[in-house]
Structure 1
């Protein structure tokens, strides 16, 4: 890590380190989206397919919506990305329930890729976390007032992607270099194109709401089953969102291993099908608006294996006023964010004593 003075690092929610800007920094999503990006490596052989794949990409302009009141942009070779999975019930996603009050961020991960792009830390933010949501601007340009003790996932509901990014930046003091949203239906199709994802369950998982029924053992999950797994909540651990996060993190690692191991670069037909599904599954910010950008980003992450990804959940405790909600353990959460700011691994002490949802080890 580049050596820096204390003053250059800054402190609090409105500051960050100054980075030395490289000639051209490739940016993009990670984990599901990052693994998907790996699928377009070797894309020079696709040639004519570039235009079609480019046309698949739909983007959102986060920077224009947020303006200048953000943590400082830093250039130390690290990268911070907010990955959201939306629970919108619009379009093909209607099969997963009614749309009650608009879309919310069902899954939220802050992904920090360390300098050198050989390792990454991932912080999952429980959707039921009570936060002080800042004022923001919605997708139509209308002002949205801030709110104290608001559930984290309401930021996306009331203000869209930009409000979700602003809320994370307010919590962490870290500027998000990028944003990517993952769609339910696109997620399923991507897993099916991949040929499934292999996971091992140590206990039975039966969840009527997510339509998942798995006995203990090893399973090759198709897209429908994979979506059921990452949405399962009531049937694992203590039934909270914290238990579901444990399943999501285990699945993401299995997904990355699968992508790394299938050797799609020697099979142009398989490569194209995966690239087509991947570009339809994600909505990144507008700075990742072409296959060329995606390829550049993927090459920068090709050295990260699943074993090099450290996943934690934001340290929280159950809210004394409402046991169905959680609140951050402020001192420990600050340790997490400061480690990412300084491009250091998250210390084990930061998550000690945090509520877990009691679902550890259900999926391996």
Structure 2
């Protein structure tokens, strides 16, 4: 077997997948169970590996025809994948449903990325059966905070960091959010530009008032990092304000997911490496690798999006959004990891 681009230890591990044999000590429990009944390959197999890094941990995706093997280093271990050529019926990707919280930090130069208000709160879910969703949380939602008391939902990160933000979102929504990924404004622009922009169809022209009236025209285009950030942050010129901004953020995330799906799983290590240079996360390499690969299994027709809304109100001198029936209905709909 040939495995182009793989270090020796990874090449040996992938060869053992196709040759047969016990993988109990060389794979996660779920991946080993999925591969236990595989039928070894009978002919030559040519595979290609791409190696990257997630928060300092080596990660790899190996493709061979329609097969995909996900591995984590430095002592290489198989953590998931799908192997139709070996007769493995279902992908092994950590099960489902699963949810991850994407956070956009409002940190300015010199401020800590993980201790400023969350400008973006988007819950990304997959159901493990080809469906998923992206749910935005209006940042002015007035909710019980994991750090104690009540406040605007995006204040949880200021008081207790991203873990407190995850705990707050999980308690409010009832969804067992697995962990978080967080980026600041400069990091977001850098990741988008390094990945070649985001192809998207803009429903209507937006003038980003906070970005020196940058015009983002309606229609199909590929947004640069600067344009994508402006589109995701604009609210003052939108008829529904912060709700519209949250909707735009969901659109950008879904457009990025579609681009990733078209690029194929082999592009995952590069994207994770790019994020790791500027972002933060409490997800392990195994968690993020299987979750990212799970996004490649999505059927675009089975992926929905929504924004948790509410009525406007006041808490002292603060303008707030009060959770209502619409938001609670949305949370219930997302409990299977699917909003389509």
Match of 2:322 among 310, 327, 333: 327
Structure number, greater radius of gyration? 2
Unaligned runs of 5+ in 2: 1-27, 32-46, 60-93
Deviations, residues 15-71 of structure 1 (Å, cap 9, x unaligned): xxxxxxx9348xxxxxxxxxxxxxxxx98343xx55996389xxxxxxxxxxxxxxx
Counterpart CA distance in 2 for 1:241 and 1:186 is: 22
Q: Which residue of 1 aligns with 2:57?
A: 54
Is 1:313 the counterpart of 2:307 in the alignment? yes
Is 1:23 the counterpart of 2:29 in the alignment? yes
Partner-residue secondary structure (3-state), 2:280: strand
Q: Which residue of 1 aligns with 2:251?
A: 250
Q: Which residue of 2 aligns with 1:298?
A: 292
2:126–2:294 contact (8 Å) kept in structure 1: no
- CA 1:214 to 1:104, structure 2 compared with 1: closer, same or farther past 3 Å? same
Q: Which residue of 1 aligns with 2:138?
A: 126
CA RMSD of aligned residues (A): 3.6
Deviation at residue 81 of structure 1 after TM alignment: 1.8
Partner-residue secondary structure (3-state), 1:209: helix
1:193–1:273 contact (8 Å) kept in structure 2: no
Deviation at residue 301 of structure 1 after TM alignment: 3.2
Deviations, residues 216-249 of structure 1 (Å, cap 9, x unaligned): 33332111111111111112224x2111112111
Q: Which residue of 2 aligns with 1:227?
A: 229
Deviation at residue 281 of structure 1 after TM alignment: 4.1
Q: Which residue of 2 aligns with 1:5?
A: none
Deviations, residues 336-362 of structure 1 (Å, cap 9, x unaligned): 333333x27559xxxxxxxxxxxxxxx
Match of 1:111 among 115, 121, 124: 124
Q: Which residue of 1 aligns with 2:44?
A: none
- CA 1:346 to 1:305, structure 2 compared with 1: closer, same or farther past 3 Å? closer
Q: Which residue of 1 aligns with 2:108?
A: 89
- CA 1:296 to 1:251, structure 2 compared with 1: closer, same or farther past 3 Å? closer
- Structure that is richer in strand per residue: 2
- CA 1:298 to 1:121, structure 2 compared with 1: closer, same or farther past 3 Å? closer
Q: Which residue of 2 aligns with 1:279?
A: 276
Q: Which residue of 2 aligns with 1:13?
A: none
Q: Which residue of 2 aligns with 1:171?
A: 172
Unaligned runs of 5+ in 1: 1-21, 26-41, 57-74, 137-145, 348-364
Counterpart CA distance in 1 for 2:120 and 2:257 is: 17
Counterpart CA distance in 2 for 1:275 and 1:173 is: 28
Counterpart CA distance in 1 for 2:102 and 2:133 is: 13
Deviations, residues 268-324 of structure 1 (Å, cap 9, x unaligned): xx8775443132243221x41x3x654333333321144432111113122267794
1:191–1:223 contact (8 Å) kept in structure 2: yes
Counterpart CA distance in 2 for 1:53 and 1:181 is: 16
> TM-score by structure 1 length?
0.62
Counterpart CA distance in 1 for 2:181 and 2:259 is: 21
1:210–1:229 contact (8 Å) kept in structure 2: no
2:54–2:273 contact (8 Å) kept in structure 1: no
Equivalences, count: 263
Deviations, residues 250-270 of structure 1 (Å, cap 9, x unaligned): 2222222222224684xxxx8
Deviation at residue 166 of structure 1 after TM alignment: 1.9
Counterpart CA distance in 1 for 2:107 and 2:48 is: 32
